[in-house]
Structure 1
């Protein structure tokens, strides 16, 4: 008898190890601050804000209440763009492995509204999701990932209910092992293709790469990006990446004390090294501070 298969990653998390390695912890888009607090009554608050190079400030405040016993989570967010977001999540209430949530948003000044119903169902070797965008289309989106012995097969499709036609479809193949992962995507109705690779070289070193080919891209060719992450010690790590456009990005994250983290980022366009300002249009610097109590 074969052993039970683990729950595979969701469609959006296929290739996550490589994507996180190449995109997270590069804080070179201005200055940002994030503060997280937790109350004894299972209510958490998160306040975050970012100031970019144009001196524009964007932020939001989020409150979340969780009832783990009954699988209920309520989240409310208010942004500096005066957008109100609400989300209600029900996890493992109707059936084991089934999660339901309703996410809404309202922009009072513009009168813009959204309402999206999401369902997630997870079992051994299976991870499916379905989304209904009630006010736009309506558009029904479904995806599924099957996994067995590390091999992964996934597909996604979007259906316009009013128009009665499929508006988007995609598929993916992958393999996940304890030390490495490989994923190939066919996206945008198979007009764009991506391949990603992640490798945990050792306990302290990770490496990854991603290649994207888009038939609609004006520049043509393949966009390639490679990166690495090195842990200096238990409280600090350094990340570096470079793409075939000649842009180098560096990131350094340091845990200053329990609950306090600082991250610094730098991006340099090697084809425009003569730009006078390190924070000009070709080069970017930034910093982020996170307080988590």
Structure 2
């Protein structure tokens, strides 16, 4: 008798280990701040903001209420661009493993609104989602990932109800093991190909890489990026990555005390370090601070 299969990752989380390693914790686009607080009644508040190249401050304030007993999560956010965002999640109420998720946004200044309803169902060896964009199309997007013994197979497709045709489709395959993961994506109607891997070398070291080939790109060739993460101790880690264009990115994150974390980032164009004729900055620096209570 075979053992029960674990729930596979969702379509959007295929290759997540490699993507997180190569994209998260690199703060070199200015200064940003994130403050999180939680009330005794279970309401969580989050305020975050960042400084752009034009010195403008953009950010949002978010409130989240979680009713674990009834499987309800309600999130409300208001951004500095005067966009109101609302998310309502209801889980395990109609069937075990079934979740409804409604995301809406309203921009009063531009009279623009969106509403997307997600239906998610997951069980042993299966993770499937359906999304209906109520104001655009309407368009129905569905994706499914099946998994067995570490092997993963997934597909995604979008159907425009008004036009009566499939507007988008993609496929993916991968293998997940405790120490490593390999994922292959064929996106954008099978015109854009991604290959990624993630390897936990030891308890303190992680490594990964990603290759991207776009059949419709004006510049030929494959874009390649490799990176690594090393824990210095229980409160600090460093990250580094470099791509085939010669851009080197470094990140350092330190927990200063419980609830306070600081991250610093640096990006260097290594091919132009000694180019005296180059105009403009060849490097980027930034920092990010998190306060949580």
Give the TM-score of the pair, scaled to structure 1.
Answer: 0.97
C-alpha distance in 2 between matches for 1:136 and 1:213: 29
C-alpha deviations, 1:209-231, integer Å up to 9, x for none? 00000011111100000000000
C-alpha distance in 2 between matches for 1:275 and 1:140: 50
**What SS does the aligned partner of 2:2 have?**
coil
C-alpha distance in 1 between matches for 2:256 and 2:183: 35
**What does residue 46 of structure 2 align with?**
46
8 Å contact kept, 1:30–1:51: yes
C-alpha deviations, 1:140-174, integer Å up to 9, x for none? 00000000000000000000010001010000010
C-alpha deviations, 1:225-245, integer Å up to 9, x for none? 000000000000000000000
**What does residue 161 of structure 2 align with?**
161
C-alpha distance in 2 between matches for 1:4 and 1:203: 27
**What SS does the aligned partner of 2:28 have?**
coil
C-alpha distance in 2 between matches for 1:248 and 1:52: 21
C-alpha distance in 2 between matches for 1:281 and 1:88: 44
1:112, distance to aligned residue in structure 2 (A): 0.4
1:217 aligns with 2:217: yes
1:275, distance to aligned residue in structure 2 (A): 7.1
Structure 1 segment 89-108 matched on structure 2, within 5 A = 89-108=89-108
Alpha carbons of structure 1 residues 275 and 288: separation in structure 2 relative to 1, 3 Å:
farther
**What does residue 65 of structure 2 align with?**
65
**Consecutive unaligned residues in structure 2, runs of 5 or more:** none
**What does residue 178 of structure 2 align with?**
178
**What SS does the aligned partner of 1:199 have?**
strand
C-alpha deviations, 1:80-134, integer Å up to 9, x for none? 0000001111010111000001111000000000010011101000000010000
C-alpha distance in 1 between matches for 2:163 and 2:92: 34
**What does residue 200 of structure 1 align with?**
200
Alpha carbons of structure 1 residues 235 and 167: separation in structure 2 relative to 1, 3 Å:
same
C-alpha distance in 1 between matches for 2:164 and 2:84: 31
**Consecutive unaligned residues in structure 1, runs of 5 or more:** none
**What SS does the aligned partner of 2:12 have?**
helix
8 Å contact kept, 1:275–1:282: no
C-alpha distance in 2 between matches for 1:58 and 1:239: 26
**What does residue 265 of structure 1 align with?**
265
**What SS does the aligned partner of 1:158 have?**
strand
**What does residue 287 of structure 1 align with?**
287
C-alpha distance in 2 between matches for 1:195 and 1:66: 37
C-alpha deviations, 1:38-57, integer Å up to 9, x for none? 01111000000000232121
Alpha carbons of structure 1 residues 281 and 163: separation in structure 2 relative to 1, 3 Å:
farther
Question: How many residue pairs were aligned?
Answer: 290
**What SS does the aligned partner of 2:8 have?**
coil
Give the TM-score of the pair, scaled to structure 2.
Answer: 0.97
RMSD: 1.0
C-alpha distance in 2 between matches for 1:21 and 1:102: 29
C-alpha distance in 2 between matches for 1:275 and 1:205: 34
